[in-house]
C-alpha cells in the first residue's frame, strides 16, 4: 500500500499532467472546435483539477476564467492567434522552440540537446508527430511520460532517481527558456486563452519542480488536489 503522502503527491501530479496534456496540445496543433467545446464551453478551465499557492498559477487561472467569453467567435480567434504566434511562415511572434532561444541560455542548458534526453529513454514514438524535438508541446508530452513513470514506481530509490531526472529535464530543457517565451506570449498573444495557457505552462512546470524537490519546497507553491 502506498503511504498517504505518496498517494496524495501522485494525485496532484496526475492533475498537473492533465493540464500539461491540454496546454501542450494547444501549442502543437491548430485549435479545432472540440477544444472550445470541451475546455471552454463545458467549463473545464474554470475549475482546474489542482489548486496552487503559486501566484503565477493563480494568474493563469484568472486569465483562463476570463477567456473565451464568446464561444461563437472563440475558435476563429484562437486559430488566428495560433497562426500568428507559432505558425507564421515568415516570423512567428512566439516560436515554441528551445533552439530559438539558445543565444539567451548559458552553461549546460545551451549545450544539452533535448534529443539526447529522449534517446536515453528510448522514446521513438515522438517521430510520428513530425514536429521538431525541441517544440514545447513535444517537451511537455515527454514530461508527462516521465511523471507517469514516477507515479508508477513503488520503490523509493526508483522514485528518487526519477524525481531527479524530471527536475533535470525541467531545468535544462524547459525552465531554461520558458520565461522568455512566456514574456513574448504575454506581449503578442491577442487572446486571453493563449496568454493563460502560456502562464499555466510556466506555473505548472514551476510547481512540479518545487513539489519534487528534496525536500519539497516549503513556499506554498506546491499544488493540492482540488475537491
Q: Is residue 220 part of a domain?
A: no
Largest CA distance in the chain: 55
Beta bridge partners of 224: 51
Rounded CA-CA distance 193/155 in Å is: 40
3-state SS class at 50 = strand
Q: Is residue 226 part of a domain?
A: no
Rounded CA-CA distance 28/204 in Å is: 18
pLDDT tens-digit map of 128-180: 888 999 999 999 999 999 999 999 998 999 999 999 999 999 999 999 999 99
Specify the pLDDT at position 43: 74
Q: Is residue 216 part of a domain?
A: no
Specify the pLDDT at position 38: 80
**Residue 14 lies in domain:** 4-210
Asked if the model's pLDDT at residue 107 lies above 70, the reply is no
Contacts of 141 (CB under 8 A, 6+ apart): 20, 21, 24, 28, 126
Specify the pLDDT at position 145: 96
Which CATH number goes with the domain that contains 116? 1.10.3480.10
Specify the pLDDT at position 32: 87
CA angle 203, 161, 128 (to 5 degrees): 65
Specify the pLDDT at position 105: 67
Beta bridge partners of 52: 223
Strand pairing of 223-225 and 50-52? antiparallel
Asked if 45 and 64 touch (Cβ cutoff 8 Å), the reply is yes
Residue 195 grid cell: 496568454
3-state SS class at 164 = helix
pLDDT tens-digit map of 67-79: 998 888 999 999 9
Specify the pLDDT at position 221: 46
Provide φ and ψ at 156, rounded to 5°: -65, -40
For residue 52, the surrounding DSSP H or E stretch is strand 50-52
Specify the pLDDT at position 83: 97
pLDDT band at 102 (very low <50, low <70, confident <90, very high): confident
Q: What percent of the chain has pLDDT over 70?
A: 90
Structural domains of the chain, count = 1
Q: Is residue 100 part of a domain?
A: yes
Q: Is residue 219 part of a domain?
A: no
Average pLDDT over residues 194-220: 86
Asked if the model's pLDDT at residue 200 lies above 60, the reply is yes
Asked if 97 and 91 touch (Cβ cutoff 8 Å), the reply is no
Contacts of 65 (CB under 8 A, 6+ apart): 45, 46
Question: In whole angstroms, how far apart are CA 190 and each of 48, 77, 83, 185, 195?
Answer: 23, 8, 11, 9, 8
Q: Is residue 215 part of a domain?
A: no
Higher pLDDT, 191 or 108: 191
Asked if 46 and 69 touch (Cβ cutoff 8 Å), the reply is no
pLDDT tens-digit map of 38-61: 888 777 777 889 989 999 999 999
Q: Is residue 218 part of a domain?
A: no
Question: In whole angstroms, how far apart are CA 12 and each of 136, 139, 190, 208?
Answer: 22, 20, 31, 9
Q: Is residue 82 part of a domain?
A: yes
Amino acid at each position: 500500500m502506498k503511504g498517504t503522502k505518496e498517494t496524495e503527491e501522485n494525485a496532484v501530479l496526475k492533475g498537473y499532467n492533465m493540464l500539461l496534456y491540454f496546454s501542450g496540445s494547444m501549442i502543437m496543433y491548430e485549435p479545432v472546435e472540440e477544444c472550445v467545446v470541451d475546455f471552454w464551453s463545458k467549463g473545464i478551465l474554470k475549475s482546474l483539477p489542482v489548486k496552487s499557492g503559486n501566484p503565477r498559477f493563480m494568474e493563469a487561472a484568472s486569465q483562463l476564467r476570463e477567456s473565451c467569453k464568446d464561444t461563437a467567435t472563440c475558435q476563429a480567434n484562437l486559430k488566428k492567434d495560433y497562426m500568428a504566434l507559432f505558425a507564421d511562415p515568415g516570423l512567428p511572434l512566439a516560436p515554441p522552440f528551445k533552439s530559438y532561444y539558445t543565444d539567451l541560455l548559458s552553461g549546460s542548458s545551451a549545450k544539452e540537446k533535448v534529443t539526447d534526453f529522449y534517446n536515453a529513454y528510448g522514446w521513438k514514438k515522438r517521430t510520428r508527430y513530425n514536429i521538431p524535438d525541441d517544440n514545447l508541446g513535444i517537451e511537455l508530452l515527454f514530461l508527462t511520460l516521465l511523471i507517469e513513470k514516477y507515479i508508477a514506481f513503488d520503490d523509493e530509490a526508483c522514485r528518487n532517481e526519477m524525481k531527479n531526472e524530471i527536475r533535470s529535464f525541467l531545468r535544462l530543457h524547459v525552465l531554461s527558456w520558458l520565461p522568455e517565451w512566456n514574456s513574448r506570449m504575454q506581449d503578442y498573444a491577442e487572446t486571453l486563452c493563449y496568454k493563460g495557457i502560456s502562464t499555466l505552462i510556466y506555473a505548472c512546470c514551476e510547481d512540479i519542480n518545487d513539489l519534487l524537490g528534496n525536500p519539497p519546497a516549503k513556499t506554498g507553491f506546491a499544488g493540492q488536489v482540488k475537491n
